[in-house]
């Protein structure tokens, strides 16, 4: 149930439009529990076959849901990525030091907006990768439960198939994320040590921002990957986060905005 709770939390913390796009882990778990592992009729394997059919069918539906959502988001990101780059270029060309109408104030103002937007954009993409991962994990878990419960052999071949699904092939998004990171490095002013330290004291995240989502996602991931009693060779090792103080120091409380 730990994963189920974590998943629920993630769903709550995630962007509103994404909430119904996650794995219906609880329902699937209920189904698995209700699937009788002891066939009661003579045609026992028939029983089993039907239950497995259903289960596979539902899983496929879920996968389809993921794929549809993922690919659509991906498309959006591809478009927005291009738009952002063009926007940056426009600002530089217009108000930049070598631009048509060099204007420091305008430039700074626009760049500030861009910075915010691009960081959020980066965050959203990362959240999509997280979405993919969370759902994969959920699928892997539910398959494991199924096999355990029914003694079936569904997991291994099925998961192979899942690995190739669009929603799990996140290479493009990761590439965009990296591109974004280098763009951000270019767009952000050089870091000033002292001022950085001051500004970082007690920054509290408010509202439903992307930041909040990513912090929640990271924390969640940490939790999920804490050692468990059903540790097996198909389990992931515990999460080892360097600088985990960073995460701890960001408290997900509501009211106080950054001053």
Partner 1 sequence: MEARPALSFQRPGAKQLSSMGMSGALSSSLPVLPTPLEETYPKLLDSQQVSMERELVTRPLNHASQLSSNSSVVGHMFSSSSGFSTDLHYSSLSPHEKHSRQSPFISQSSTNAASLPVTHSSGSLQSTASHYAKENSASWQTDSLSSFLDFPVNTPIENSQVESSSCNAALASEEFTKWADQLIADDDALASNWNELLGDTSVTDLEPKMVFPVSKSSPNFQAHQSQVPLQLPATSGEIHAVANPTSLANSAPAKPRMRWTPELHEAFVEAVNLLGGSERATPKGVLKLMKVEGLTIYHVKSHLQKYRTARYRPESSEGSSEKKLTPIEEMSLDLKTGIEITEALRMQMEVQKRLHEQLEIQRNLQLRIEEQGRYLQKMFEKQCKSGVDKLKTSATTLENPSTPSLDTVQESPAKSELDASQVDHGKTGTDPVNANTALEESSQELGGKHKVSEANDPENSEPDACESSSQPSKRPRTDE
Shortest separation between residue 156's beta carbon and partner 1, angstroms: 6
Q: How many residues bind partner 1 (CB under 8 A)?
A: 143
- Smallest separation (angstroms) from partner 1 to the CB of 95: 16
- Residue 51 phi, psi dihedral angles, 5° rounding: -60, -40
Least CB distance from residue 43 to partner 1, whole Å?
7
Q: CB-wise, 102 or 120, nearer to partner 1?
A: 120
Q: Is 164 in the site for partner 1 (CB under 8 A)?
A: yes
| Binding test (CB under 8 A) with partner 1, winner from 9, 31, 145, 252 | 31
* Of residues 53, 59, 65, 55, the one with CA closest to residue 22: 65
Enumerate residues 187-246 that contact partner 1 by CB under 8 A. 188-189, 191-192, 195-196, 199-200, 203-211, 214-215, 217-218, 221, 225, 229-237, 239, 241, 243, 246
DSSP for the chain, written as a single string: -HHHHHHHHHHHHS-GGGGGGS--HHHHHHHHHHS-SS--SSSHHHHHHHHHHHHHHHHHHHHHHHHHHHHHHHHHHHHHHHHHHHHHHHHHHHHSTTSSS--HHHHHHHHHHHHHHHHHHHHHHHHHHHHHHHHHHHHHHHHHHHHHHH----HHHHHHHHHTSTTT--HHHHHHHHHHHHHHHHHSPPP-HHHHHHHHTT----TT-HHHHHHHHHHHHHHHTS--TT--TTSPPPP--TTHHHHHHS---SS----
Nearer to partner 1, 96 or 122 (CB): 122
Q: Which residues ranging from 34 to 63 are in contact with partner 1 (CB under 8 A)?
A: 34-41, 43-58, 60-63
Q: Which is nearer to partner 1, 102 or 209 (CB)?
A: 209
Least separation, in Å, of the C-beta of 100 and partner 1? 21
Contacts with partner 1 in 75-134 (CB under 8 A)?
75-76, 78-83, 87, 108-109, 112-113, 115-117, 119-124, 126, 129-130, 133
Min dist CB 126 to partner 1, Å, is 5
The least CB distance from residue 98 to partner 1, in Å, is 22
Is residue 251 a contact residue for partner 1 (CB under 8 A)? no
């Amino acid at each position: 149930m730990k994963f189920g709770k974590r998943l629920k939390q993630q769903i709550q913390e995630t962007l509103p439009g994404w909430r119904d796009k996650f794995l219906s882990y609880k329902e699937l778990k209920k189904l698995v529990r209700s699937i009788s592992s002891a066939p009661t009729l003579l045609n026992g394997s028939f029983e089993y076959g039907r239950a497995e059919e259903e289960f596979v069918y539902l899983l496929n539906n879920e996968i389809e849901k993921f794929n549809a959502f993922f690919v659509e988001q991906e498309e959006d990101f591809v478009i927005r990525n291009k738009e952002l780059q063009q926007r940056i270029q426009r600002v530089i060309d217009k108000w930049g030091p070598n631009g048509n109408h060099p204007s420091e104030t305008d430039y700074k103002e626009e760049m500030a907006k861009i910075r915010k937007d691009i960081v959020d954009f980066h965050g959203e993409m990362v959240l999509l990768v997280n979405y993919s991962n969370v759902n994969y994990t959920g699928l892997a878990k539910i398959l494991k439960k199924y096999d355990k419960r029914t003694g079936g052999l569904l997991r291994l071949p099925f998961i192979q198939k899942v690995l190739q699904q669009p929603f799990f092939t996140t290479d493009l998004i990761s590439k965009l994320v990296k591109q974004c990171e280098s763009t951000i490095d270019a767009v952000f002013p050089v870091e000033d040590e002292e001022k950085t330290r001051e500004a970082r004291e007690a920054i509290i995240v408010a509202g439903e921002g992307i930041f909040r989502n990513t912090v929640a996602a990271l924390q969640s991931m940490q939790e999920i990957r804490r050692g468990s009693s059903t540790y097996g060779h198909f389990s992931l090792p515990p999460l080892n986060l360097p600088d985990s103080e960073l995460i701890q120091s960001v408290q997900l409380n509501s009211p106080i905005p950054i001053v």
